[in-house]
Amino acid sequence: MAVDPDKFKRFREQVDDIVAMAPGGKRTVGRLMDTAFGDALRETERLIDDSRPPRLYVFGRSGAGKSSLINALANKPVADVGSVEPTTVDSELYHVSFPDRYASWDVVDSRGLFESVSPDGDIPGDTISHLKADLEEYRPDIAIHVMTPDQVRAGKDDFATVETLRRELPGVFPPVVYCLNKVDTYLAPGGDWPPESNPSLAGDIKHTLEFVAKILNEEETTPFDESQPLHGYEFESDDHVGVVPVYLKEEPYWNVDTLAWLVGDFLPVDARLQFIQAQQREELMQELSRDVTKRFSGIAGGIGSAPTPGADFPVLTGLQLFLVGLIGSFSCRELERGTVEEYLTAMGGTTVAGLAARGVARSLAQLVPGVGQVVSGTVASATTYAVGRSAEEYFFNDAVVKPSAFVKKGKDRLQR
């Protein structure tokens, strides 16, 4: 999320100015702020102020593709591919920063971990103590176990090793996502790529995914996409997050976005934003925008029918402008007034820059029919939804679709 804390503070003050136009005195406004706007702000603050880098822990056998995975997830070269000599169990911490996005990640590459395990499955004491020290130091949110098809086929050893480590290190061992890399090695010579257009390849991949689920004793498996079980499964348990097949050798990668989605979805809220923002994966940010629009729409539903006529209107407007700014920032604009003005200008066809709070509020109101001096909860909710969707269209799809086009949809949502 492109958030400069200072600009965010100023933006908040500007929104507060709009809300402060509400008649009815401090108490009414205060109460409205608390019930409605307060919720939205708390929600946003949780997203922004409490945001921290996600902590990922990547392990797997040498050559499985750990470094390739880190690079593919980050969308830029971070780790050296194919050149690391895993002679010790030392791990390497990468601070991956995305300065233009105000985001960073901490990724630990635990190369060499499995190399120390003897063929009969014995894990040396110093491997366990190394890993324990690692986990205590980095406190990863999630671990990603990178495997290749032949490693899976070779049997249960590595899965058993991980389970042993989990037992040995209670309380610090994170949930694990299984990443099945190098699925292209199933490909017969001259076979079609990608797997979606090759039923035999797709069958091999699905078979392996099911095998992994079985070894892990995961009976409850849900495909991410019902129509495309090939893209991986999510598990029910707390120890295993899911299994996702990928191709990471070079671009275009295959199915990395599913893995990114699973990790992003699993991460705690305070770590999620920096994870998905940094990926420059527009569709994930757009999903987040849609989510926030729905939540703001729900919050707005509580605004209607304030005791003082007209008091809820500025609060609602403030909320909606705030939502526009937020969605703009998800698309990597700055979270500041200029972003809201850019949107309003595009919608209205006239320049809004430099207007006072009242003017900004008025130009938004003109875009949202049905919001007059008296606001009902239904209207508040439906129009907030409409403004959010319109902002989403503008910031993500470069399309000018006025909020009025989404009001009906907003109302229909309420009926459901």
Ligand X SMILES: Nc1nc2c(ncn2[C@@H]2O[C@H](COP(=O)(O)OP(=O)(O)OP(=O)(O)O)[C@@H](O)[C@H]2O)c(=O)[nH]1
List interacting residues with Mg ion (CB under 5 A): 66-67, 84
144 and 179 Cβ atoms separated by less than 8 Å: yes
Q: Could you tell which of Mg ion, ligand X, none binds residue 82, using a CB distance below 5 to 8 A set by kind?
A: ligand X
Taking the least distance from each CB to ligand X, the nearer of 197 and 373 is: 197
Q: CB 208 → Mg ion: shortest distance, Å?
A: 22
Using the structure block, give the residue that is written with the tokens 């109302």: 411
- Select the binding partner of residue 248 from Mg ion, ligand X, none (C-beta < 5 to 8 A, by kind): ligand X
Of 146 and 300, which has the nearer Cβ to ligand X?
146
Q: Output the smallest distance, CB 64 to ligand X, in A.
A: 4
The terminus-to-terminus CA distance of the chain in angstroms comes to 32
The angle formed by the CA atoms of residues 25, 30 and 31, to the nearest 5 degrees, is 110
Shortest distance, position 412 Cβ to ligand X, whole Å: 44
Q: Are 411 and 378 in contact (CB under 8 A)?
A: yes
Q: Specify whether the backbone of 406 is left (phi greater than 0), alpha (psi in -120 to 50) or beta.
A: alpha
Is 191 or 307 the residue whose CB approaches ligand X more closely? 191
- Binding at 413: pick from ligand X, Mg ion, none (beta carbon under 5-8 Å per type): none
Cβ contacts of 57 within 8 Å, gap of 6 or more: 107, 108, 110, 134, 135, 138, 140, 142, 143, 144, 174
Q: Are 55 and 94 in contact (CB under 8 A)?
A: no
CA torsion angle 120 126 131 132 (round to 10):
120
CB nearer to ligand X: give 68 or 127.
68
Q: Which is nearer to ligand X, 77 or 199 (CB)?
A: 77
With CB cut-offs between 5 and 8 Å by kind, which of Mg ion, ligand X, none does residue 7 bind?
A: none
Task: Give min distance, CB of 86 to Mg ion, in A.
Answer: 8
Distance of closest approach, residue 146 Cβ to Mg ion, in angstroms: 9
Paired strand residues for 146: 60, 179
Q: Residue 68: which of Mg ion, ligand X, none does it interact with, CB under 5 to 8 A by kind?
A: ligand X
What sign results for the dihedral spanned by CA atoms 404, 409, 413, 415?
A: positive
**Among 281, 291, 286, 279, CA closest to 399:** 286
Q: Which is nearer to ligand X, 190 or 349 (CB)?
A: 190
65 binds, among ligand X, Mg ion, none (CB under 5 to 8 A by kind): ligand X
149, 185 in Cβ contact below 8 A? yes
Q: For residues 55 and 66, which CB has a smaller minimum distance to ligand X in the complex?
A: 66
HEC readout, 161-180: HHHHHHHHCCCCCCCEEEEE
The residue type of 307 is P
Q: Which CB, 47 or 107, lies closer to ligand X?
A: 107
- If you ran DSSP here, which 8-state letter would residue 35 be given? I
In the complex, minimum distance from the CB of residue 236 to ligand X, in angstroms, rounded to a whole number: 28
Exposed/middle/buried for 228, CB within 10 Å: 0-12, 13-18, 19+?
Answer: middle
82 versus 349: smaller Cβ distance to ligand X: 82
- Work out how close the CB of 96 gets to Mg ion at its nearest, in angstroms, rounded to a whole number: 14
Residues that bind ligand X (CB under 6 A): 60, 62-68, 81-82, 84, 86, 111, 181-182, 184-185, 247-249
Residue 249 binds: one of Mg ion, ligand X, none (C-beta under 5 to 8 A by kind): ligand X
Question: What is the closest distance, in whole angstroms, from the C-beta atom of residue 57 to Mg ion in the complex?
Answer: 14
Q: Which does 287 bind (CB under 5 to 8 A by kind): ligand X, Mg ion, none?
A: none
Q: Which residue is nearest to Mg ion (CB)?
A: 67
> 56: which DSSP letter?
E
Contact partner at residue 247 from Mg ion, ligand X, none, CB < 5 to 8 Å by partner kind: ligand X
Closest distance of CB 185 from ligand X, Å: 6
